[in-house]
Amino acid sequence: MPASPVLSVSQLNAYARAVLEGDSSLSGLYVRGELSGFRRYGGGQCYMTLKDGDAQVSAVLFGNAAQRLSFTPQEGLRVLARGRVSLYEPRGQFQLILDDMQPDGVGALYQQLEALKKKLAAMGIFAPERKRPIPAYPQRVAVVTSPEGAVLHDILHVLSRRWPMAEVLLYPSAVQGFGAGEEIARAVARASAEGKADVLIVGRGGGSAEDLWAFNEEAVALAVASCSMPVISAVGHETDYSVCDLAADLRAPTPSAAAELCSPDSGEEALRLQGLSLRAGESVQRLLDMRRRELGELCAELKALHPVNTLSGAKERLNGLQRTLCAAADEAILRRESEIRLLAGRLEALSPIKTLARGYAIVSRGGKPCASAAQIGVGEKIKLQMSDAELECTVLSVAPNNRE
């Protein structure tokens, strides 16, 4: 049997908490450290980790203390916190219950990061004009990430749903811990040198600033900037941009979002292609109809210009002209005949023969008509032209006509 009393885990944690909270030297103390993993919940409580170069401790701000904060906590910010030591019994977690917290300068890591950002910006690594467009229809997608994490699974899931014809090429690398930055840079350089893919996704899932710090190394930024293909950075954090994000051609908030950004939706593309096919068919049909009409018009023109049709048309025109000419000639003849009949009638009315028929005679001497008796002497021979005969006469006497 054990010499000391046997405690349950709950009893042990309760005792440890009582010891820690009962020590006056662990109450009202000040702790300086860098903020990491700061989280604020709907109830007002805030959870975080305070750390320095060698250790870290969990801390929590409750209710009124959290509301009294005079600044916006940010990752990596150095703070001076006041509170007491306690123990969270359900998990046996050593923690600080804070009463107040004030900024105490920017953490050393973030000072280094800002200096690196300024250096890379001066080199033009972040320049907007260097950004390349992401290919709309990639055949191969390269991925630099850990083969054990959920990142690769998420990317494969999205691509299989949206663009299953894309082939995924994995370039495995550690994504956190000592040497991870150099390993990421080497994987990016290898993918660039092989040049098998159309686009490269580099990144990891979410995590604390320390977990993601490998993507803030200069080697990673330079490898991404010099990559032969467009790069999408998918480092899973929403607020701060890593140097990998800034150097990449495009930043995605998550690996799944990165997969969506480099892949079209195959369903939408199928509908778009179907619409294009229908419009192309309609365009071709309209073009064929137009060409048929043009061909018909050309055939009609050619037919009209054919020698047979030309001669036929000329023959028809000649026949028409002949008919017109004949009709005109007939009309002219009829008109002339009518005129002749009219003139003949007039002449006939004026003809001496008509006068002779009424009992008159024409007197002539020597072949010349005589209009007066003074032209004829007694004993001369004269001719009398009557309507039915011509008489030769000798003038026996001339008696003047006393009708006056």
Predicted confidence (pLDDT) per residue in 70-82, tens digit: 667 877 888 889 9
| Co-location of 53 and 95 in the same domain | yes
Average pLDDT, integer, range 235-242: 72
Residue 27 lies in a domain: yes
pLDDT band for position 367 (cuts 50, 70, 90): confident
Residue 299 lies in a domain: no
Query: Each residue of 43-70: pLDDT tens digit?
Result: 789 999 999 888 999 999 998 888 887 6
- CB of 181 closer than 8 Å to CB of 204: no
- Tell which residue, 106, 65, 105, has the closest CA to residue 82: 65
Strands (E), 158-309: 167-172, 199-204, 231-235, 250-251
Asked whether residue 404 carries a pLDDT value surpassing 70, the answer given is: no
Please state, in angstroms and as integers, the Cα–Cα distance from residue 323 to each residue in 312, 317, 318, 329, 332, following that order.
16, 10, 8, 10, 14
Q: Which domain range does residue 174 map to? A: 111-266
The pLDDT of residue 311: 74
Q: Is 145 strand, coil or helix?
A: strand
| Co-location of 195 and 255 in the same domain | yes
Distance, C-alpha 48 to centroid of its chain:
49
Domain boundary among 106, 139, 165: 106
Q: Is 240 strand, coil or helix?
A: coil
CA distance 169 to 13: 50
Q: Is 157 strand, coil or helix?
A: helix
Residue 331 lies in a domain: no
CA distance 222 to 80: 36
Residue 82 lies in a domain: yes
The pLDDT of residue 237: 64
| Co-location of 139 and 218 in the same domain | yes
CA distance 109 to 242: 13
CATH number at residue 63: 2.40.50.140
pTM, two decimals, is 0.52
- Tell which residue, 363, 380, 373, 361, has the closest CA to residue 398: 373
Domain boundary among 231, 266, 301: 266
Residue 272 lies in a domain: no
The pLDDT of residue 185: 96
| Co-location of 257 and 212 in the same domain | yes
Residue 85 sits at φ, ψ, to 5 deg, of -85, 140
Strands (E), 146-290: 167-172, 199-204, 231-235, 250-251
| Co-location of 127 and 234 in the same domain | yes
CA distance 120 to 114: 10
Residue 163 lies in a domain: yes
Domain boundary among 106, 136, 162: 106
CA distance 132 to 125: 13
| Co-location of 99 and 129 in the same domain | no
| Co-location of 101 and 195 in the same domain | no
The total number of structural domains in the chain stands at: 3
Residue 314 lies in a domain: no
Residue 78 region, left (φ>0) first, then alpha (ψ -120 to 50), else beta? Answer: beta
Query: Each residue of 371-395: pLDDT tens digit?
Result: 787 788 888 888 888 878 888 898 8
The pLDDT of residue 165: 92
Q: Which residue has the higher pLDDT, 189 or 351?
A: 189
Residue 313 lies in a domain: no
Strands (E), 147-303: 167-172, 199-204, 231-235, 250-251
pLDDT band for position 257 (cuts 50, 70, 90): very high
The pLDDT of residue 201: 97
Asked whether residue 144 carries a pLDDT value surpassing 80, the answer given is: yes
DSSP for 120-136 reads: HHHTTTT-GGGPPPPPS
The pLDDT of residue 3: 64
Average pLDDT, the chain: 87
| Co-location of 180 and 246 in the same domain | yes
| Co-location of 123 and 260 in the same domain | yes
| Co-location of 135 and 206 in the same domain | yes
| Co-location of 102 and 116 in the same domain | no
| Co-location of 124 and 262 in the same domain | yes
CATH number at residue 231: 3.40.50.2300
The DSSP symbol for 170 reads E
Query: Which of the given ranges, 110-124, 178-192, 238-252, 345-359, has the highest pLDDT on average?
Result: 178-192
CA distance 36 to 49: 5
Q: What share of residues in the chain are helix, strand, coil (percent, to 5)?
A: 45, 25, 30
